Amino acid sequence: MRTGNSAGRILLITRNFPPLLGGMERLNWHLAGELSKCHEVRVVGPQGAGRLAPPGVEVHEVPVRPLARFLPAAGWQTLRIARAFSPAVVLAGSGLVAPLAWTAARASGARAAAFVHGLDISVPNPVYQAVWPWFLRRMDRLIANSRATAALAADAGVPASRIGVVHPGVHLPAPDPQARARFRARHGLGDDPVLLSVGRFSGRKGLREFATEVLPLISAGLPDVRLVIMGDCPANALFGQAQSPDSIRAAAEVAGTGSRLCFLGAGTDQELADAYSAADVHVFPVRHIPGDPEGFGMVAIEAAAHGLPTVAYATGGVPESVAEGLSGRLVAPGDAPGFAQAVLDLVRHPLPAAGVRGFAERFEWTHFGAALCAEIEACCA
């Protein structure tokens, strides 16, 4: 139940919120929604966020592009609202806006907290590294999306006593017996073995390397295999170069796997759900790149919620999102033959879908909300 006093007020500031699309955007939406069940929540977020906010959550919009415009505009809004709203906690939805949250909290007598994701701690930008870690070390609470991200925060000098871990959540869909056939018929996949890749085409995601180094090895054992790719190029990314669909196609053509690729764009939520149901294995070939970590691997949990196992390189926080032998397989970073063999094994000997879904149940959004509220209490204690 919401409370009207300042102890029950949370001011969230984030650049990542619907109508922008992506895992961090979904996370911050649910973050606001779960906190609003027991707190009065206001959000400083991107233009268009107000009409898509969770019920009862008031949004103050600022332009999101360019970044040089967003930061001062959001900082001013957050400071102004914090002074009038008198929140108990000013919460940054990522490390990027932690300085804004800290400043507003100190100006309004509130506590300062930030939900950090990995890259927002370690981004290899000299200006960022000269300024942002100073604020992260002075937050009253850092909430990390994984133990791996918590370790990055500790390495940056944040006291361990002020770091908590809350894994992102997932929606558990009702089974749809027609989804597999519907998706395969729509895209002419027939009974071919189908691998699925979901996410933005950043260099860290390793899709081009998968198409050239791993897919040829899989094709040797499964000549009819298809790789369905759902996603788009990153926009407004803090760091990282994109791999365009054209560059991925060109590299795949050289490797002899171009005909195996099927690009479908980002797709709607329903199309993505159907894809999870139609595929045989979700592939997550994240590369180990110093300074550009994979903080968690939410897409592996989303796949598991549909009963779809994941094969992934064990880097960053990915081992916390894939349970070896239960929801998928983990492979040493860069081991292309090992990755290919793990995919072949799962296609030929599928894991029990009930066990895969059972792993995802541990991450249901209500569990996320309870853990998040506990971290807010720890921040206020």
Give the residue numbers spanning the domain of 252. 179-361
Tell whether 356 and 370 lie within a shared domain: no
Cis geometry, peptide bond prior to residue 19 (ω within 30 degrees of 0): yes
CA distance 76 to 50: 18
Tell whether 119 and 204 lie within a shared domain: no
Tell whether 202 and 347 lie within a shared domain: yes
Tell whether 188 and 155 lie within a shared domain: no
Q: What is the pLDDT of residue 4?
A: 47
Tell whether 27 and 143 lie within a shared domain: yes
> Is the residue at 41 inside a domain?
yes
Tell whether 98 and 183 lie within a shared domain: no
Tell whether 190 and 135 lie within a shared domain: no
Q: What is the pLDDT of residue 7?
A: 62
> Is the residue at 92 inside a domain?
yes
Tell whether 141 and 198 lie within a shared domain: no
Q: What is the pLDDT of residue 2?
A: 45
Tell whether 108 and 206 lie within a shared domain: no
**Residues 11, 85 contacting (CB under 8 angstroms):** yes
Tell whether 78 and 200 lie within a shared domain: no
pTM recorded for the entire structure: 0.91
Q: Which residues are CB-neighbours of 270 under 8 A, at least 6 positions away? A: none
Residue 21: both structure tokens together: 């699309």
> Is the residue at 174 inside a domain?
no
CATH of the domain at 234: 3.40.50.2000
Q: What is the pLDDT of residue 273?
A: 95
pLDDT per residue as tens digits for the range 14-50: 999 999 888 889 999 999 999 999 899 999 999 999 9
**Residue segments in the chain with a per-residue pLDDT below the cut of 50:** 1-4, 239
> Is the residue at 1 inside a domain?
no
**Residues 282, 298 contacting (CB under 8 angstroms):** no
Query: How many distinct structural domains can be found in the chain?
Result: 2
Tell whether 111 and 232 lie within a shared domain: no
> Is the residue at 150 inside a domain?
yes
| Among 328, 323, 374, residue whose Cα is nearest residue 349 | 328
Q: What is the pLDDT of residue 370?
A: 95
> Is the residue at 280 inside a domain?
yes
Tell whether 22 and 149 lie within a shared domain: yes
> Is the residue at 320 inside a domain?
yes
* Strands of 141-144's sheet in order across: 58-62, 40-46, 9-13, 89-92, 111-116, 141-144, 163-165
